Amino acid sequence: MIKPDLDQELPEELGAVHFVGIGGSGMSGIARLLLEAGHRVTGSDVRESDAVAELRAAGARIAIGHDAANVGDADTLVVTGALWEDNPEYRRALAEGIPVLHRSLALNWLIRGHRVVSVAGAHGKSTSTGMIATALRELGVDPGFVNGGVIAGYGRSSSFGTDDLFVVEADESDGSFLLYDTAVALITNVDADHLDHYGTQEAFEDAFVTFAEGASEFVVASSDDPGALAVTRRLTGTRVVSFGLAEDAEVRVRDVVADGPVAFTIVHEGRELPVRMAIPGAHNALNAAGAFAVLATLGFDPEGIVRGLEAFAGTGRRFELHGEVRGVRVYDDYAHHPTEVAAALATARSVVGEGRVIAIHQPHLYSRTRMMAGEFAEVYERLADHTVVLDVYGAREDPEPGVTGALVAERFADPAHVDFLPDWQAAADRVAEIAREGDLVMTLSCGDVYRIIPQVVAALGAEQA
């Protein structure tokens, strides 16, 4: 795993840029911005993907597979934190003295000089970033943005824009959110995560305090999340605007109705503003409130903000419908922490009606699986009717002896509600065997679990035949 060097000086110019792992959600958006800025962009990845195809169409030259020759005559190498240090392209750059930038440093280079709105938090970052960018566009502003997921209304995850505002999903997982020259900070929550990097909850909170203190204009933070409250209580001399369900929140949410597209009321400065989103999920009422608080404090018209938020159609891999076979809907969601899983499954419950919810869980990271297996099991057993657990997607971590998806399955109180099936075809067949008309199947992970969806759809079709 390659971590960002927060003290690394940025070069004056990047020249021709080569991305190692260009198809990743964060990398592809930055690559697109560099293409828009007129840079020659090349890259490599382990497989073809929609992101790779779109970047090729935009002018990037991309190789499948990692090889030192892929670097070519690049002036700068951009890497993702998920990269291993024995990668041949990374090794060649080091050997030849080609500057190497972590993707967060490349993003920092791109947004320098802008009025940056940084969205951070253990959950809800991509959705909140997408909401702010969408609402700004609906308000007649053309912001720059870089998001961790494709914004459905625009079919892309990044854009330069022409306004000085630049909205970024700020990644706290490796501390890189501390790099940016943030004007406005939105903290959705500070739920314990990424302890493989931080070590302790206290260190995790300390990083958010540093992030908030770095905001030159103001901080927007949850009034309900204990971690966010712990952070804001430590701030001195920083303007904090609160949002949430709490009665004393400056942007208060009430009257939430979540049986379908979520509807609610925002109470702000004595005004009651009804909101009906285009997306489901009670948690999205809070995401919208955070976005509203940012935009209202920036001075935009509250009613115009509401119209902008209502235009938001979601982001890729966030409760994303992939198809329906014999009356069974198949969704994908990026949820990879127990809190996120609970929100995703609650959303599924709000739209499934009389049907059942069948979850396919791909544990993400060995450390998270080891530390949170019991929490995952409790959430899945409580909110899903049946769960199929795959094996661990290790991402940036080496395997740990004895840590597999079985750790989650074994923590279910009733083993009849769960199957541990590391073989993906067996998992797809099991889902098809269980599912019946009216049910909802959902894959959950920030790994590559979405790649099982064609197998699930095919298995559902085969059951029908």
C-alpha distances (whole Å) from 340 to each of 52, 212, 318, 343, 347 are: 27, 23, 10, 5, 11
pTM: 0.83
- CA distances 401 to 176, 367, 392, 407, 453, Å, are 30, 11, 12, 12, 29
Q: Which long-range CB contacts under 8 A does 49-53 form with residues at least 24 apart? A: 49/23, 51/22, 51/23, 51/24, 51/25, 52/22, 52/23, 52/28
- Neighbouring C-alpha atoms within 13 Å toward the C-beta of 44: 22
- Residue range(s) occupied by CATH 3.40.1190.10 in the chain: 113-310
Range list for CATH 3.90.190.20 in the chain: 320-464
Q: How many CB atoms lie within 10 A of CB 141?
A: 18
**Which segments of the chain belong to CATH 3.40.50.720?**
17-108
CB atoms within 10 A of CB 205: 18
Q: Does domain 17-108 have CATH number 3.10.450.50?
A: no
Place of tokens 């709105």: 117
Tell me which CATH homologous superfamily contains domain 113-310.
Answer: Mur-like, catalytic domain (3.40.1190.10)
pLDDT tens-digit profile, the chain (465 residues): 677 677 788 889 999 999 999 998 789 999 999 999 999 999 999 889 888 999 999 999 999 999 999 999 999 999 987 788 899 999 999 999 999 999 999 999 999 999 999 999 988 889 999 999 999 999 999 999 999 888 988 888 899 999 999 999 998 877 788 999 999 999 999 976 655 656 687 888 999 999 999 999 999 999 999 999 999 999 998 999 999 999 999 999 999 999 889 999 999 999 999 999 999 989 999 999 999 999 999 999 999 999 999 999 988 777 888 999 999 999 999 898 898 899 899 999 988 999 999 999 999 999 999 999 999 999 999 999 999 999 999 887 889 999 999 999 999 999 999 999 999 999 999 999 999 999 999 999 988 999 999 999 999 998 665
State which CATH number among 2.40.37.10, 3.90.190.20, 3.40.50.10540, 3.30.70.120 fits the domain covering 320-464.
3.90.190.20
